[in-house]
Amino acid sequence: MTGKLILVRHGETEGNVAKILDTRLPGLPLTERGVAQAKTFGANLSVPPRQLFSSEALRARQTGGYIADATGVKLEPLEGLQEVQLGDLEGLNTQDAHETFQDVYHAWHFGDLSVRVPGGETGMEVLDRYVPTLERLRDTYLTDAESGDVILVSHGAAMRLVARELAGIPRLFAANNHLDNTETIELLPGANGEWECTRWGRYLPPFAEAAWPTGDDPMG
């Protein structure tokens, strides 16, 4: 039996607390609460992962480092897995900036991946840099006879978009349900390169076609 790919949103950061749109590498560090969240996540794993990866962002590497300390599995940062790049909105915490990003992000979830964040990325550019790494991890670690999960510490907006595209999550559900710090999206590899989502934060399948928006901290 093979394992799952477990995407983990990093622990709380100074940017999360201040509602700052923080996407450029290396980014802001974890808060004390974020450190505690990362330590708790690692301590609560009943079985160490087969492999442990993170994006290159400081907050993801810090979160992954505490998971590594708890499990004894070496952390390896990977290129191309950073958060959606927000260009002109970088470093802002205004309501207008958040609403501008949310308008673009919802357009991506509802099928228009060509819309660009002002000065930043399109949805297709996010997928083009992110998805090939997941496929490589799948081919390397999740298709052989050896069992064990692969953990990847990443970022909320990118995780949601990628998981929706790969696993066919209902669009409204994916657009409206953000992930709290250290919550996970869990993907099980299936036949013919397909993925099945077995967890989205606090939710298990089947995922509702309609869902009310949660209080959204979009960045991570």
Q: Hey, which residues are catalytic here?
A: 10, 83
DSSP class per residue in 32-43: HHHHHHHHHHHH
Instruction: Let me know the angle formed at the C-alpha of 107 by 123 and 118, rounded to the nearest 5 degrees.
Output: 60
C-alpha span between 68 and 52 (Å, rounded): 8
Q: Go through 161-180 and write b for each residue having 16 or more CB atoms within 10 A of its CB, e for each that does not.
A: bbbbbbbebbebbbbbbbbb
Token pair recorded at residue 180: 């709290």
Task: Establish whether the linkage from the previous residue to 48 is cis, with ω within 30° of 0.
Answer: no
How many residues are present in the chain?
Answer: 220
What residue has token string 């298990």?
Answer: 204
DSSP bridge pairs for 76: 53
C-alpha span between 154 and 206 (Å, rounded): 24
